[in-house]
Amino acid sequence: MWQPNTLLTGTPGVGKTTLDKELASRSRLKYINVGDLAKEGQLYDGYDEEYDCPILDEDRVVDALENQMKEGGVIVDYHGCDFFPECWCHIVFVLRTDNSILYKRFETSGYSEKKLQDNIQCEIFQVLYEEAMASYRKDIVHQLPSNNPEEQENNINRILKWIEQWIKDNSS
């Protein structure tokens, strides 16, 4: 049975990985964390000293994902989205978190002040939502609040219902 590909994106710290892992468990779709995939395959194009992190080689990531995405049934977890081919994604969810909550999550994670401020600015200015809206059909991009466990549970249920309906609509 053909299954949809779902992209979950958003500023670091909004809860993508937590949500995606639970979603994959309940839906039996395949979960792919792009950061982990890049780390395992060394899919990098240098190192960013300012942010103290590797620079993703987006072309190599796309090549590494291509066959799995063509098969369908994949949940992709990554904070960026503009380099994934539009034809891969049946729906895109952008998680959003209140800045005060996000700030506390960053502090707990030990982010540098620059990285913390830049990520808060990213959330304030809806950078990743705007990126998703510019990269995909507007009707497949949805924002979801991700401030607490109750919202996370609501998001999981909403996405599971969407997946179920997509399968019904596309099973002929």
Residues 6+ away with beta carbon under 8 Å from 13: 97, 102, 105, 106, 109, 119
pLDDT digits (tens, 9 = 90+) for 28-81: 899 999 999 999 999 999 999 988 889 999 999 999 999 999 999 999 999 999
With vertex at residue 134, the alpha carbon angle to CA 129 and CA 139, rounded to the nearest 5 degrees, is 80
- Tell me the pTM: 0.95
SS3 for 142?
strand
Query: In degrees rounded to 5, what are phi and psi of residue 139?
Result: -75, -10
CB-based contact 45:59 (threshold 8 Å): no
Q: For 8-148, where are the alpha helices, taking DSSP H only?
A: 16-27, 34-41, 58-71, 99-109, 113-124, 127-135
Confidence of residue 132 (pLDDT cuts 50, 70, 90): very high
